[in-house]
Structure formats: structure tokens, C-alpha cells
Amino acid sequence: MPDIDLELRRITKRYGSFLAVDNLSLDIARGTFTCLLGPSGCGKTTTLRCIAGLEQIDSGDILIGGRSIADAPPWQRDIAMMFQDFALFPHMTVARQVGFGLEMLKQPRAEVARRVAAMLKTFEIDHLAGRKPATLSGGQRQRAALARALITEPRILLLDEPIGSLDFSLREMVMFELKAVQRRLGISFVWVTHDQTEAFSLGDLVVVMNRARIEQVGSPADILERPRSAFVAGFIQGNNVFRGTVTAAQDGMVRIATGVGEFLVPVLNGSTPPTGGAVSFSVRAERITDQPGAEHANRLSVRCGAVEFFGAVRRYFMHQADSQILKVDQFGAQAARLREGDQATIGWRAADGVLHHGDGGSP
């Protein structure tokens, strides 16, 4: 399989009795921008550190370019890593820093100098060659760290929340710079983040993790439109998650009884859940309308709570009698301009519900 950069085969990592990575498998095709997304403590950083060799896996195997490296030390793996605070060496100039990896590979001095100069030019930091990290701005540090990591031309670049320590205003620019670098070099990036905006705007492949396991792997569109589990739906912004029991199944649809009413939800891939079984489904906030028409089969009467504005979108927080909160997004022109305390009827098309099939019995 020459086109697979990284394969994780059922890797497990324990700290004492705590299971940090649980039987995790993942294939990453050559040149993929992968984002490991999940809440803190979900095992995403540990997974990254296992790939780097900074942690030893307890069982399973890791293959880079088809070769098992589970027993190889970090300095012999074909990877590079970028740390959250960049981990620049405070006592070395930028040029020294960037050339470090090549020096370690015992490259001749002239060769190191030539490639460092080229690298600094690429990242437009050649004027900083003689400076030490303490005198650099956040953006400059990030570029120096990237140049340092990429100079050994690794097959995979591992990034641990690489823009987390940057000013908010810098983040977007840096994000797209990194994406452009990845596209140009064609190497695989494995990017760990807890920020879904980052994951969805950068990743070719998004891996949602929870409690040491993978919840869902897919393209950003997959994960946004077809969350596999209640966890993924709840973790991704803008989803309304419903839990209930199946009361009937007909024509590729199931009827689900929830605490706030009965709703029709389509069965996606043919495997109809049994009647009486516990299920969950979700509906995106922008698919719910406050002026339901005939096509909006699922309806619900609610009281309007707080209203928030996201640019052109206004988001209502709707309350039901038992105080379940629903998010409803409306675009400016079509919005009914509800105010806090107003009663309203909302609804959505049956086809807009997404039945979860990956809960695996867990709540």
C-alpha cells in the first residue's frame, strides 16, 4: 500500500489504570490533512504522541509508509512535530534552530547552511536568521517552528494545537498559510485540536474522538451533515439532539417518541432500528424554521428564550415545557423576528433529521 502514509492498527495506551487510547485504528492516505478533534482528555494528544514515539503504545502497531515503527525511537521515525508553544530552543538563533534537524542527521556544514537559507527564504524569515526566539513575535515564532520541523522533509507533520497560543487575530491567517504549505509540499498533516472551526476549515479528514476512542471519521461535510452518534452531534455546534424510542417503522422512516413529541426520521443506510429500541437523532439548527409549512412534518410548539446574533444569522434558544432548549437559526430576511417570551410553532422536514447509528449502546 504505497499510498498510505500512516496506519494505526488497534493501538492502546494506558497510564496505570487510566485508558488514554483504546484500541484505535486509523488509515491516513498520502498527503492528507487530518484533524484529530475532540474535547480535552479524549486521547487525541496521546494518540499524536504515540505516533511521534514520545509515548510507547502498550499494544497494536503503527506503520509509516507501510513500515512498522512501533519499536523505533522518535528520532528514527519519519515524522516531525510542532508543539503548542512551538518549543523553540531559547539559546539558539533562528538559523541554528532551523538547521538543528539536519545537523542531527550529520549533513555537511555547507549543505546545512544552504538548505537553512532556502528554508528561511521560503517562510520569509531570512531577515530573522540571527535572532533568538525571545525577540520574535508570535507569528514569527510559528514560522520558525514550522521551518525547523519541515527542513528534514518528513513524511508526516504532527501538530499539537499549533495555533492555540497565537493571538486570535493571527489565527485565521496562520491557518490558511499552513494549509497552503501542506498542499504545496504534499505531505500528510495530523493536526490535533479541540476547535471544530479549525478542523472543518482545514481537514480533508476529520477524526472525532471521545473517551479514548474514535467516534467518527469522515470529511467535514460527512460529520456536519451525518453525525454518527449523539456525542458527535452534541459536540458539533448547531445540532439539536433528541433521544427517544422507536414506535413504528415505514417507508424508510422511523417514528420516534421523545420527551417533547413524536417525530419522523429517515433511516439512512437501510438498517432499520427495532421497534421499542432506544435511539437518538439530530437536526441542525438552520434546518428548523419558525414558519413551518405543509412540508415540515415535524412540529413543535415552544416559547422563545434568548436571541443571539451571528452576523446575518440569528439564533433563537427555544424552550419547551420541560425546559429542553432547542437552537433555531434563521437568516435575517425570513426571520419572524420573535422576541423573548413569544410563543411559536417550529418545524422541520422529516428528511432533515439524522438518525444516529454509531452510539453502540452507550448513552
Partner 1 sequence: MRWTTRAALMKWTLGSVAVGFLIYQWLPMVTLGVLSFSGPDGGTTFPMNGVSLYWYAELWEPSLSADFKAPLLRSFLLALACSATTAVMAVAAAQAVRGEFRGNGVFFYLILLGIMAPGLLVGFGVAIVARLLGIALSWSTTTFLVHVTWTLPFGFLTMLAVFNRFDRRLEEAALTLGATRVIAFRRITLPIILPGVIGAALFGFSLSYDEFARSLFTTGADLTLPLTVLGQFDRQLTPSLYAVGTLTTLFSLTVILLFGGVMWLTRGRARRPA
Partner 2 sequence: MSTISRRSPASYLLAAPAALWMTGAVVVPTLLIAWVSLWGGRAFSPDSPLTIANYARFFGNQTYLKLILDTVQQSLLLMAISGVLGYAIAYFLVVMVKRPMVRLAIFFALVIPFWTSAIIRSIAWIPFLGVNGVINRTLMFLGLTSAPIDAFLYSRTGITMAQVSLYTLLMTGPVVYTLSNIPVQLREAATCLKAPPLAVFRRITLPLTLPGIVIGQVLIFLNVMSDFATVAAIGGNKLALLGNLVLNFYEAGNIRYASVVAVLLMVCMLAGVAIALKVVDVRRLGE
Footprint on residues 62-91 left by partner 1 (CB under 8 A): 71, 73
Question: Does 74 help bind partner 2 (rule: CB under 8 A)?
Answer: yes
Q: Tell me the C-alpha distance between 182 and 60, whole Å.
A: 28
Out of partner 1, partner 2, none, which partner does residue 56 contact, by CB within 5 to 8 A per kind? partner 1
Near partner 2 by CB under 8 A, which window of 4-12, 111-119, 148-156, 252-260?
A: 148-156
Close Cβ partners of 60 (under 8 Å, ≥ 6 residues apart)? 8, 9, 10, 11, 12, 23, 24, 25, 70
Which of 87, 264, 297, 336 touches partner 2 by CB under 8 A?
A: 87
**343 has which bridge partners?**
303
Here's the x/- map for partner 1, 18-57, by CB under 8 A: it reads as --------------------------------------x-
Cβ-contact 298, 350 below 8 angstroms? yes
Question: Does 59 help bind partner 1 (rule: CB under 8 A)?
Answer: no
Cα 324 to chain centroid, rounded: 27
Which of 18, 40, 75, 169 touches partner 2 by CB under 8 A?
A: 75
266's enclosing H/E stretch is: strand 261-266
Footprint on residues 152-191 left by partner 2 (CB under 8 A): 152, 158
Near partner 2 by CB under 8 A, which window of 51-59, 61-69, 244-252, 321-329?
A: 51-59
Edge-to-edge strand order for the sheet containing 325-331? 325-331, 313-319, 298-310, 343-348
User: How many Cα neighbours within 13 Å face the side chain of 44?
Assistant: 27
Out of partner 2, partner 1, none, which partner does residue 90 contact, by CB within 5 to 8 A per kind? partner 2
Give which of 235, 239, 330, 237 is closest to 281, Cα–Cα: 239
Out of partner 1, partner 2, none, which partner does residue 71 contact, by CB within 5 to 8 A per kind? partner 1
Whichever of 57 and 147 has its CB closer to partner 1, that residue is: 57
Whichever of 55 and 215 has its CB closer to partner 1, that residue is: 55
Give which of 230, 243, 212, 218 is closest to 38, Cα–Cα: 212
Which of 104, 118, 221, 351 touches partner 2 by CB under 8 A?
A: 104
Q: Tell me the C-alpha distance between 142 and 284, whole Å.
A: 36
Footprint of partner 2 (CB under 8 A) = 52-54, 73-76, 79-81, 83-85, 87, 89-91, 100-101, 104-105, 132, 134, 148-149, 152, 158
